[in-house]
Amino acid sequence: MAEPAYIVTSDSETTGEEKPSTFSEIAIGIDIGTSQCSVAMWSGSRVELLKNTGNQKIMKSYVTFKGNTPSGGVCSQLSHEDEMLSGATIFNMKRLIGRVDTDPVVHASKNLPFLVQTLDIGVRPFIAALVNNMWRSTTPEEVLAIFLVELRAMIEAQLKRRIRNVVLTVPVSFSRFQLTRIERACAMAGLHVLRLMPEPTAVALLYAQQQQQNAHENMGSGCEKIALIFNMGAGYCDVAVTATAGGVSQIKALAGSTIGGEDLLQNMMRHLLPESGNLFQNHRVKEIKRMGLLRVATQDAIHQLSSQTSVQVDVDLGDGLKIWKTVDREEFEEVNRKVFEKCESLIIQCLKDAKVEVEDVNDVIVVGGCSYIPRVKNLVANTCKGKELYKGMNPLEAPVCGAALEGAVASGINDPLGNLDLLTIQATPLAIGIRADGNKFVPVIPKDTAMPARKELVFTTIHDNQTEALIIVYEGEGEKAEENHLLGYFKIMGIPAAPKGMPEINVCMDIDAANVLRVLAGVVMPGSRKPAIPVMEVRMPSVDDGHGWCAEALNRSYGASLDLVTLQNKA
């Protein structure tokens, strides 16, 4: 029996609290994208991207299962396209990680040439790879961990030392629960997450460094600069507005959505073969092969449409099913009109949230795999009133370079030339609050609050002599509680009997620089300055899978009996 490819080194879900003493090791920046991945680190004078044995800086993010030894895209020499057809390869794990089977993104992933099965009740989807005509089950965390182990081996072989600390880039729209899944995958691979950076904020840090270097060269240009960063990869589209001066990048607003190259690809596949959804439903070996063939052909066509105005798609799916079609760029843009509209709305939303007028934006930066698509470049430029796009960043390497810079900065590395005299003041991408005032979501820490953050709100009881209250913590932007991600819940007991509206229930939320969230709740009776009962402190997220079920069960069992309302007369 062969050794398993990875060993779970720590079952602890808590990877946050960092040790002050580990700061001597420089953290590696890793950008694991939905389709591609890259690694970079601060070399002492600049950021360097690490290459795999095939001399590639950008590697495909996938894992192929064969027998007992899965192998990832880090060092595998086989071409992705051939392997994808067999059903043994799992990819797009970044789209699947931390999602339940009612999520539309999971449903859209059923078109992938491996098994994604849903029961549509709010549990983990069943994911499996076809190995020797047998479905071998796995999880997105496991796939990611296998990939990270390979990545780690590659880095360690090159650096000739062990590595532990990493800075990973993540999509803006990831919930805190999804972030814990990424941390879990890293822990499984023996890596410690120093920071999880939203992708555009990593780009913002690189931009801050470039601006600072420019400022050094020509004195007098150290003014505050506002940059809009648009990052669209295969899985996610993220926007950030940042204000930069003197190496300090302050994130003013973030916006993100689960749209990306994968959606463009699926829309195109449906366009080329309208019945493709039904065709692949049963996931037979032959169907998987067809699905793979169509995927590869469509992907190639989209890539070619970035440089030419029309493309000939010619693919034989077997059993007399052939696609022979000319697709031009307008057709591609029309098929994906909704995706591009969503991109525009994200930019507009982000500028609005940042309270920045388009005219005040100094630089517009477009990065990510989709930045090669002419329509994407145009829509960003047009939304920013025709501003010329920022040059001087490699669209595929910018996020990983930013992550490597953050790795060096957060590891306490000093650069004598001041190239690491940098700082990112992160902002919360989603609001965090509790359920109160009926079924409303009441944010305690609003969206786009600078981190570290600490905010509190005072609530009170809705019934006379209410001695217990349920604090249900959500994250998101929805007005109703259930439209948001459930992070956890706890009950306050022993509230002194009093008329409704009297006890002051103080709910405090604290996010530290490592993005660890703690929720504290204390009860104070009017006229007293001391808490009436011991204060509760809970680290969140504390819920595991099946968040939907949790909230429903709480509602069913308690209804409004343990509810709270906001206390208006207290700030």
Partner 1 sequence: MTDIPFSFSTFDRRIKLSQFSSSHCIQSQISPLTSTTLSFPLYPSLQNIPMSLTLNLTPLTAVTTTLRSPPRVAMIRAFTATIDSRRPASLYEVLRIKQNASAVEIKSAYRNLAKVYHPDSALRRSESDQRDFIEIHDAYETLSDPSARAVYDLSLMSARGGGGSFSSLVAPNSSSGLYHQTRKWETDQCW
What DSSP assignment string belongs to 169-186? EE-TT--HHHHHHHHHHH
Q: How far is the CB of 9 from partner 1 (least distance, A)?
A: 5
Residue matched to tokens 């530290």: 512
- The CB-of-223 to partner 1 minimum distance in angstroms stands at 5
Q: How far is the CB of 110 from partner 1 (least distance, A)?
A: 34
Please give the C-alpha separations between residue 34 and each of 174, 372, 378, in angstroms, as whole numbers. Answer: 13, 16, 23
**Exposed e or buried b for every residue in 482-503, given b needs 16+ CB within 10 A?**
bebbbbbbbebeebeebeebbb
DSSP string, 414-426: --TTSTT--EEE-
Closest CA to 254 of 85, 428, 134: 428
In whole angstroms, how close is the CB of 70 to partner 1 at the nearest point?
A: 15
Looking at the Cβ atoms of 329 and 454, the one nearer to partner 1 is: 454
Extract the tokens encoding 435. Answer: 């359920």
Q: Least distance (Å) from partner 1 to the CB of residue 539?
A: 9
Q: Which is nearer to partner 1, 121 or 450 (CB)?
A: 450
- Beta bridge partner(s), residue 127: 116, 138
Question: Coil, strand or helix: which one is 349?
Answer: helix
DSSP letters, 182-211, are HHHHHHHTT-EEEEEEEHHHHHHHHHHHHH
Cβ proximity to partner 1: between 535 and 553 the closer is: 535
Nearer to partner 1, 285 or 535 (CB): 535
Distance from the first to the final alpha carbon of the chain: 63
Q: How far apart are CA 38 and CA 22, in angstroms?
A: 24
Do the beta carbons of residue 459 and residue 565 sit within 8 Å?
yes
Instruction: Count the neighbouring beta carbons within 10 Å of the beta carbon of residue 290.
Output: 23
- 545 beta partners: none
Task: Copy the structure tokens of residue 282.
Answer: 């049963």
Which of 173/411 has CB closer to partner 1?
411
Q: 176 phi and psi, to 5 degrees?
A: -60, -30
The residue (of 96 and 410) whose beta carbon lies closer to partner 1 is 410
Residue 363 or 504: the one with the smaller Cβ distance to partner 1 is 504
Nearest of 185, 198, 108, 119 to residue 150 by alpha carbon: 185
Task: Give the residue with the Cβ less far from partner 1, 212 or 383.
Answer: 212
Sorted by sequence, the CB contacts under 8 Å of residue 274 that are 6+ apart come out as none
In the complex, least distance from residue 220 CB atom to partner 1, rounded to whole angstroms: 6
* Contact between 27 and 204 (Cβ < 8 Å): no
Rounded CA-CA distance 228/320 in Å is 49
Residue type, 379: L
* Backbone torsions φ then ψ of 68, nearest 5 degrees: -100, -5
Which of 354/410 has CB closer to partner 1? 410
Residue 198 CB, shortest distance to partner 1, in Å, is 15
Token reading at 16: 């946050």
Three-class secondary structure of residue 198 per DSSP? strand
**In this structure, are residues 271 and 294 in contact, taking their beta carbons and an 8 Å threshold?**
no
Closest residue by Cα to residue 225 from 214, 211, 210, 238: 211
Helix, strand, or coil here: 79?
Answer: coil
**What is the helix (H) or strand (E) element at residue 334, kind and residue range?**
helix 329-335
Q: How far is the CB of 410 from partner 1 (least distance, A)?
A: 6
Cβ distance to partner 1 smaller for residue 10 or 79? 10
Alpha carbon separation from 257 to 64, 101, 373, 552 (Å, rounded): 28, 18, 18, 26
Taking the complex as a whole, how short is the minimal distance between the CB of residue 532 and partner 1, in angstroms?
Answer: 10
User: Nearest distance from residue 509's CB to partner 1, in Å?
Assistant: 9
CB of 49 to partner 1, least distance (A): 19
Least distance to partner 1, CB of residue 103, Å: 31
The distance of closest approach from Cβ of residue 145 to partner 1 in the complex, given in angstroms and rounded to an integer, is 11
**Secondary structure (3-state) at 247:** coil
Closer Cβ to partner 1, 320 or 527, answer by number = 527
Nearer to partner 1, 322 or 570 (CB): 570
| Closer to partner 1 by Cβ: residue 374 or 446 | 446
